[in-house]
């Protein structure tokens, strides 16, 4: 009986390690942030921008284009999608591909694991956070 329980525990541990390695390779490791912060109840982006209409699973490229336009770089979602690395066969783009695209544009990105309070604080008092 104890060999069966040990085998189950070992299998679960192997599954966890394999899953973490695959996630690390596809998305990079997140930087954990959990702390209380002060944030405004509401905020508004006053800079002019536009929302392009997308088709299929191009949301990563269109939200990237929106963010680039926010920083004053003219961008079109379809053009970005064609250049974006890290696409799956289904059309989805891994987070690592999005980060790599921003890196190619000369921007530094971070992948955070954070709670809602810290997220609202970052949105209020720093540059845009892409979810």
This prediction has a pTM of 0.62
What one-character DSSP code corresponds to residue 93? B
Identify whether 77 is part of a domain. yes
Identify whether 18 is part of a domain. no
Structural domain boundaries enclosing 92: 31-125
Two tokens at 71?
A: 């920083």
What is the CB neighbour count within 10 angstroms for residue 68?
Answer: 20
Identify whether 1 is part of a domain. no
Identify whether 79 is part of a domain. yes
Look at the chain and report how many structural domains it folds into: 1
Identify whether 4 is part of a domain. no
Identify whether 36 is part of a domain. yes
Q: Which residue has the higher pLDDT, 131 or 42?
A: 42
Identify whether 16 is part of a domain. no
| Band of pLDDT at residue 119, cut at 50, 70 and 90 | low
């Amino acid at each position: 009986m104890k060999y069966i329980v040990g085998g189950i525990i070992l299998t679960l541990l192997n599954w966890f390690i394999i899953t973490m390695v695959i996630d690390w390779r596809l998305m990079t490791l997140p930087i954990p942030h959990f702390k209380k912060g002060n944030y405004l109840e509401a905020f508004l982006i006053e800079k002019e921008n536009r929302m392009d209409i997308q088709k299929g699973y191009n949301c990563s490229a269109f939200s990237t284009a929106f963010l680039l336009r926010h920083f004053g770089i003219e961008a079109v979602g379809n053009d970005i999608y064609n250049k974006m690395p890290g696409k799956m066969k289904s059309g989805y783009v891994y987070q690592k591909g999005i980060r790599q695209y921003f890196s190619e544009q000369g921007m530094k990105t971070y992948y955070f694991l954070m709670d809602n309070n810290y997220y609202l604080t970052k949105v209020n008092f720093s540059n845009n956070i892409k979810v």
